[in-house]
Amino acid sequence: MLIDNHNRVINYLRLAVTDRCNLRCNYCMPAEGIDFAARDHLLSMAELKRLSKLLVEEGIDKIRITGGEPFARKDLMSLLRFLAGLETLKDISITTNATLIGPYIEELKLLGIRNINLSLDAITRERFKNITRRDQFDLVYENLIRLITEGFNVRVNCIVLDGQNIEEIYELLELTRHYPVSVRFLEEMPFNGGSRTFNKIQWDFRRILKHIQVKYPSIQKLESEPTSTSINYSIPGHEGTFGLIPSFSRTFCGSCNRLRVSATGDIITCLYGKPRANVRDLMRLEPEDDAVKQTFRAAIGNRSKTGFEEQEKYKNVFKNSMTSIGG
C-alpha cells in the first residue's frame, strides 16, 4: 500500500497518455499550442503498461486516463485492454473532450469501462467554439448523449470562466433534468500555458453556488465520499445531480489520495508543485521494477500537506499548461 508522509493512502493514479490535443481550450493552452514534448519523450505503450502494472501491485486501485486528449493517442485501446485485465484494479475511468471517442464506445462497454468525465464548458455552439477555438460542438454533444443513453456513468466537467460561459451554467444544469448525469462546475486554475492572464479567481465555488441558488433555491446537499473533490447537490425533480469542485480554493487537500504521472513520465504529487522525479529515463535504464517502485515511494513519502504549502516551495508553477499535467 502507498501511504504518504501525512498518513494518506494513495490509491488513485491519474495517468496522462499524451500532451497533444485536437482542441485549444483557452483556459488550458494558447491558440498556437504549447511546446509539445518530442515523440520519444512521451512514455511508450510498453512503458505505460509497465508503470500501471507496478503501481497497481503497489496498491493503486483506480486509474484515470487523461492527457492532452487521450483518444488523440492512436494506441490508447491497447492500454485500456491491458488495464482491464489487471485483477486488483477496481476502477478505470477516462477524462476526454469527447471529440474522438465515438468509434471506441462499443469496445469501452465490452471492457467494462463505464466512468467517463466529459469536458464541456458550453452547450451553445458559438460559445463552445469561442472557448475551444474549434467548431466541434455537434460531435461532442452527439457523443455525450450517446454515452448517457448507452448507460455510461457520465460526469460533465465545466470550467466556470468569467465573461465566457456564466450563461451556460443554467443551460448545463438543464441536462440534469432528464438525464442521469452529473454536471460539475470547476474553479479555473492558472495552468493555461500563458494563454490568459490569471490574476485572481473570479468565480470560486461559493459564488457559483449562490448563482445556482438564484434559479434553483431548493437544491439539496448530498453525501459524498470522503476522498471526493466535489461537493454534490440534487435539484428536486431532476434525474441527475450537480457538483462544485473547488480546484483553486483547495478545500479537499486533507483527503487527497492522488498521484499523477505526466505523458513524459513526470511524477507529480500535487497539482500546485513541480514534478518530484521522472520515471521515463529510469524505466529505460532499469530492468528491475523494484527500483522504479522505490522512486514512487520516495516521492509519495515527501508530499506537501496542502496545495498552498506546495505552491510556496516553487516559483513559476503557474506557467504550466494543463495539457502537460493532465488535470
Least distance to ligand SAM from the beta carbon of 280, Å? Answer: 19
Binding to ligand SF4 (CB under 6 A) within 1-30 occurs at 21, 23-25, 28-29
Tell me phi and psi for residue 301, to 5 degrees: -80, 5
- Choose between 118 and 259: whose C-beta lies nearer to ligand SF4: 118
Q: For 321, which DSSP code? A: B
| Torsion 184-189-193-194 (CA) sign | positive
Nearest to 227 by CA among 28, 54, 62, 66: 62
* C-alpha distances out from residue 170 to 158, 205, 242, Å: 12, 15, 11
Residues 254, 265: contact at Cβ < 8 Å?
A: no
Least distance to ligand SAM from the beta carbon of 213, Å? Answer: 23
Least distance to ligand SF4 from the beta carbon of 235, Å? Answer: 26
247: left (phi over 0), alpha (psi -120 to 50) or beta: alpha
Residue selected from 26, 52, 93, 157 as contacting ligand SAM according to rule CB under 6 A: 157
Site for ligand SAM contains 247 (CB under 6 A) = yes
Contacts of 36 (CB under 8 A, 6+ apart): 19, 20
- Choose between 155 and 295: whose C-beta lies nearer to ligand SAM: 155
Residue selected from 92, 140, 154, 189 as contacting ligand SAM according to rule CB under 6 A: 189
Nearest to 147 by CA among 186, 184, 93, 187: 93
Number of residues that bind ligand SF4 (CB under 6 A): 13
Site for ligand SAM contains 186 (CB under 6 A) = yes
Site for ligand SF4 contains 97 (CB under 6 A) = yes
CA distance 246 to 230: 7
Site for ligand SF4 contains 189 (CB under 6 A) = no
Least distance to ligand SF4 from the beta carbon of 325, Å? Answer: 10
Q: Which residues are at the interface with ligand SAM (CB under 6 A)?
A: 21, 27-28, 66-69, 95-97, 119, 157, 159, 186, 188-189, 191-192, 247, 322-323, 326-327
Where on the chain is the footprint of ligand SF4 (CB under 6 A)?
Answer: 21, 23-25, 28-29, 67-69, 97, 119, 322-323
